């Protein structure tokens, strides 16, 4: 049985555990196509889950930003028409350091972007505190960052740092910044020296990969910090409506 068939049968976690161990460059055409089918199925499910959560949030009066200057501000946006050319620009910009993982590329090809951060500029009375809502910046904003004349120089400092030692892409705010208080470094995805299917998701509390970060988000209906006992958020009725509708990724 190939990875795609295993994935469809519900072995979602074990499939990614297996394929993340593979050297993508050594795979034959058939194997690569099999993994690409897994990625497409995964991110179609991500898109489905985000729509479910978004629609339920609208019903309960969650306050999204409604006036947008940039794509990354939108709660959900579909892939941009020039996504492939933006991916090419992204690949070129990071090439001195390595490769963008396929997982992020397929997110941009199939999902587009997500930002479930509360609109604190309109109302600072959050529905849920420190809920760490799911967010992945739009690819146009990422490309704008990496094509900045200072980006390579800044990233090289992290690569040269013995305690850090790698390049990365900042793709979303940390939990503190999402609640409009000062915080740490943005959550980021590792740029790897070889082409990888998925890579480390950095600065986020779970010490995991990008796809597993999305899995944790959906396990918590889009808000991985929502069930923190110290915050005493009222979330049970929301979970009861949303969780049964989620597709496993």
List the chain domain ranges.
3-245
Which one, of 122, 98, 58, 109, lies nearest residue 190 by Cα? Answer: 98
Task: Please count the helices (runs of H) and the strands (runs of E) in the chain.
Answer: 10, 7
Q: Residue 1 has what pLDDT?
A: 63
Q: Cα–Cα–Cα angle for 183, 64, 110, nearest 5°?
A: 90
Q: How buried is residue 167: exposed, middle or buried, by Cβ count under 10 Å (0-12/13-18/19+)? A: buried
Q: Residue 152 has what pLDDT?
A: 96
Q: How buried is residue 184: exposed, middle or buried, by Cβ count under 10 Å (0-12/13-18/19+)? A: exposed
pTM assigned to the model: 0.96
Q: Residue 163 has what pLDDT?
A: 83
Are the CB atoms for 82 and 149 separated by under 8 Å? no
Each residue's pLDDT tens digit in the chain (249 positions)?
699 999 999 999 999 999 999 999 899 999 999 999 999 999 999 999 999 999 999 999 999 999 999 999 999 999 999 999 999 999 999 999 999 999 999 999 999 999 999 999 999 999 999 999 999 999 999 999 999 999 999 999 999 998 889 999 999 999 999 999 987 899 999 999 999 999 999 999 999 999 999 999 999 999 999 999 999 999 999 999 999 999 999
Size (the chain), residues: 249
């Amino acid at each position: 049985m190939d990875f795609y068939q295993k994935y469809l049968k519900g072995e979602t976690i074990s499939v990614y555990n297996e394929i993340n161990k593979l050297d993508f460059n050594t795979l034959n055409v058939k194997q690569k196509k099999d993994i690409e089918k897994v990625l497409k199925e995964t991110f179609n499910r991500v898109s489905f889950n985000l729509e479910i959560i978004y629609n339920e949030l609208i019903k309960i009066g969650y306050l999204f930003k409604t006036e947008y200057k940039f794509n990354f501000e939108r709660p959900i946006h579909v892939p941009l028409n020039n996504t492939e050319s933006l991916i090419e620009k992204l690949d070129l910009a990071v090439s001195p350091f390595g490769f963008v993982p396929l997982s992020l590329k397929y997110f941009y090809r199939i999902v587009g972007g997500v930002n479930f951060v509360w609109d604190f500029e309109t109302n600072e009375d959050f529905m849920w505190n420190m809920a760490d809502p799911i967010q992945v910046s739009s690819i146009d904003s990422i490309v704008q960052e990496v094509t900045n004349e200072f980006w390579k120089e800044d990233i090289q400092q992290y690569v040269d740092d013995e305690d850090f030692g790698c390049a990365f892409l900042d793709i979303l705010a940390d939990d503190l910044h999402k609640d409009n208080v000062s915080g740490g470094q943005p959550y980021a995805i590792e740029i790897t020296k070889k082409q990888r299917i998925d890579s480390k998701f950095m600065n986020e509390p779970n010490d995991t990969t990008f796809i597993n970060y999305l899995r944790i988000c959906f396990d918590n209906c889009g808000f991985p910090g929502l069930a923190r006992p110290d915050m005493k958020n009222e979330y049970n009725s929301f979970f009861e409506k949303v969780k049964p509708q989620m597709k496993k990724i």
